[in-house]
A and B are shown apart, each in its own frame.
Chain A
Amino acid sequence: MAADVKPFIGSKASPHQESEAEELRKEHLMLDPMPRDEMNQMVMEAMTTTTRKWWAWVIGLGLAVAVLLFGAWGYMIATGMGVAGIRRPVYWGIFIVTFVFWIGISHAGTFVSAILRVFKAEFRRPFTRAAELMTTFGLAAGALYPLIHLGRVWVFYWMVPYPNARWLWPNFRSALVWDFLAITTYLLSSTIYLFLPLIPDMAMARDRSTGWRHFIYKLLALGWRGTEAEWFRLRKAISIFAFAIIPVMFSVHTIVSWDFAVSMVSGWQSSIFGPYFIIGAILSGISAVVTILYILRSTMKNMDYFIRKEHFDALGKLILIFSMSWAYFFFNEYILAWYGGDEALKQVLTLHATGPSAWVWYTMLICNVAIPWLFLWNKKVRRTPWLMFIITLLVNVGMYAERYTIIPLTLGHQRSPFDWGIYNPTIIEVSIALGTLCLFIFLYLIASRIIPLVPVWEVQEGQMSHTLRKIGKTEIPSVTELE
Chain B
Amino acid sequence: MTELLAKEAQDEKWGMVIDLDICSGCQACVTACSMENNIPFVGEDEMAYGRGMQWMRIRRYWEGEYPDVMPDHQPMLCQQCGSAPCEPVCPVFATLHSEVEKINLQVYNRCIGTRYCAINCPYQARTFNWFDYEIPAPMNSYLNPDVTVRRRGVMEKCTFCVQRIVKGRQQASAEGREMEDGDVTPACAQACPTDAITFGNLSDPESRVSKMVRSDRAYKELENLGTEPRVTYLKGGKSYGG
Chain A: residues with CB nearer than 8 A to chain B? Answer: 79-82, 86-89, 91-92, 149-153, 155-156, 158-159, 166, 168, 170-171, 173-177, 180, 259, 262-265, 411, 414-419, 421
Supposing A82-B51, A151-B154 touch, asked if A415 and B92 sit within 8 A by C-beta, the answer is: no
B:63-85 near A, CB below 8 Å: 76, 85
When distances are taken between beta carbons in the complex, the residues of chain A under 8 Å from B131 are: 79-80, 82
Supposing A79-B131, A82-B131, A152-B153 touch, asked if A264 and B225 sit within 8 A by C-beta, the answer is: yes
Pair A91/B50 contact, Cβ less than 8 Å: no
When distances are taken between beta carbons in the complex, the residues of chain B under 8 Å from A180 are: 91
Pair B152/A80 contact, Cβ less than 8 Å: yes
Pair A418/B60 contact, Cβ less than 8 Å: yes
**B148 in the interface, Cβ–Cβ < 8 Å?**
no
Name B120's closest neighbour in chain A (CB-CB). A263
Instruction: Give Cα distance in the complex from A86 to B130, angstroms.
Output: 9
When distances are taken between beta carbons in the complex, the residues of chain A under 8 Å from B111 are: 151-152
Question: B113-125 interface mask toward A, CB cutoff 8 Å, 1 = contact, 0 = none?
Answer: 1111011111110
Pair A416/B59 contact, Cβ less than 8 Å: yes
Pair B50/A151 contact, Cβ less than 8 Å: no
**B236 in the interface, Cβ–Cβ < 8 Å?**
no
Pair B152/A176 contact, Cβ less than 8 Å: no
When distances are taken between beta carbons in the complex, the residues of chain A under 8 Å from B49 are: 87
Distance to closest chain B CB from A281 (angstroms)? 21
Pair B88/A171 contact, Cβ less than 8 Å: yes
Pair B130/A150 contact, Cβ less than 8 Å: no
Pair A89/B51 contact, Cβ less than 8 Å: no
**B178 in the interface, Cβ–Cβ < 8 Å?**
no
When distances are taken between beta carbons in the complex, the residues of chain A under 8 Å from B61 are: 417-418
A-B contact count (CB 8 A): 127
Pair A91/B119 contact, Cβ less than 8 Å: yes
Across the interface, A92 reaches (CB within 8 A) one of B85, B119, B222, namely B119
When distances are taken between beta carbons in the complex, the residues of chain A under 8 Å from B122 are: 264, 414-415
Number of interface residues of B (CB under 8 A): 42
Instruction: Give Cα distance in the complex from A417 to B115, angstroms.
Output: 21
Question: B73-111 interface mask toward A, CB cutoff 8 Å, 1 = contact, 0 = none?
Answer: 000100000000100111111000000000000000011
Pair B91/A171 contact, Cβ less than 8 Å: yes
Supposing A171-B88, A171-B90, A263-B85 touch, asked if A158 and B112 sit within 8 A by C-beta, the answer is: yes
Pair A421/B50 contact, Cβ less than 8 Å: yes
Other A-B pairs, 16, CB within 8 Å; known A152-B113, A174-B88, A176-B114: A80-B132, A81-B128, A82-B130, A82-B152, A87-B50, A89-B50, A89-B118, A91-B118, A158-B91, A159-B92, A171-B91, A173-B89, A263-B120, A415-B122, A416-B59, A416-B123
3 interchain residue pairs of minimum CB distance: A151-B113, A151-B153, A82-B130
Instruction: Give Cα distance in the complex from A31 to B124, angstroms.
Output: 63
Pair A265/B119 contact, Cβ less than 8 Å: yes
Supply 30 A–B pairs (Cβ within 8 Å), ascending by A: A81-B152, A82-B46, A82-B51, A87-B51, A88-B50, A88-B118, A89-B119, A150-B114, A151-B112, A151-B114, A151-B129, A151-B155, A152-B111, A152-B152, A152-B153, A156-B112, A159-B92, A168-B92, A170-B91, A170-B93, A171-B90, A174-B90, A174-B116, A176-B89, A263-B119, A264-B121, A418-B60, A418-B61, A418-B76, A421-B50
Distance to closest chain B CB from A181 (angstroms)? 11
Name A177's closest neighbour in chain B (CB-CB). B91
Instruction: Give Cα distance in the complex from A81 to B93, angstroms.
Output: 21
Across the interface, B89 reaches (CB within 8 A) one of A158, A166, A175, A415, namely A175
Instruction: Give Cα distance in the complex from A168 to B122, angstroms.
Output: 28
